[in-house]
Structure 1
Amino acid sequence: MINGAHVIIYSQDAEADRVFLRDVLGYTHVDAGRGWLTFKLPPAEVAVHPTDGRESHELFLMCDDITQTVADLTARGVEFPDPPQEQGWGILTTIRLPGGGNLGLYQPHHETAYNL
């Protein structure tokens, strides 16, 4: 019945962030019309976390080797406002998008669900 998920990143500079996803991360895409690019993402998984505060949604990219991934992306001009930090469940850092937003990046220590 459900065959996919569509993630939206809101941005103060959508064009710059589209260029970043296309040229820096190398994500393939389709043009949905008038330059609105829709990108193919790597395999994904979803988790539900409890909150006592306002409900929100977050997007994290995942990698196998955060040290190498950060080095590769840094060489391409990507900024990381926070150094990778051990969280117990994985090693987490933040990618600064050209539009000013942030995107999480982590190397999980836990079993992943996207290959099930």
Structure 2
Amino acid sequence: MINGAHVIIYTTDAEADRAFLRDVLGWPYADAGHGWLIFGTPPAEVACHPAESGGAHELILMCDDLTATMADLRGKGVEFTRPVEELSWGVITGIRLPGGGDIGLYEPRHPRPPAA
């Protein structure tokens, strides 16, 4: 039985991005050895979107109140990579990771499934 998912963020600065997840987002973690941190995450959802070619994946974090979450993260020095966009399914922006990557942050406005 599948009991979870493991997300990998490929980055040019793993140490900086690990520090971001640990210190800015405050996620719990286990040290797998030699500073290799594995983070516990909030509950997750998976959606399949049509695309011209397969293989691309995206990480988008969710919150209950995008405005309040952005204010909290700004206070911790987080840079946002795109303007807030209101869409039929939610409100979204982007977060710059210290390693140079970009992940999404959104407040969903669609029905939420129960946890598996």
Q: TM-score, normalised by structure 2?
A: 0.95
The aligned counterpart of 1:82 is 82
Q: Classify 1:82/1:38 alpha carbon distance in 2 versus 1 (closer, same or farther; 3 Å).
A: same
The aligned counterpart of 1:25 is 25
C-alpha RMSD of matched pairs (Å): 1.2
Q: Which runs of 5+ in 2 are unaligned?
A: none
How far apart in 2 are the matches of 1:34 and 1:44? 27
The aligned counterpart of 1:57 is 57
The aligned counterpart of 1:12 is 12
Q: How many residues align?
A: 116
CA contact (8 A) 1:93 1:105 kept: yes
CA contact (8 A) 1:61 1:105 kept: yes
Shift of 1:55: 2.9
Shift of 1:88: 1.5
Q: Structure 1 segments of 4 or more deviating over 2 A?
A: none
Shift of 1:114: 4.4
Q: Classify 1:114/1:80 alpha carbon distance in 2 versus 1 (closer, same or farther; 3 Å).
A: farther
Q: Which runs of 5+ in 1 are unaligned?
A: none
* Aligned-pair identity (%): 62
How far apart in 1 are the matches of 2:83 and 2:26? 23
Amino acid at match of 1:46: V
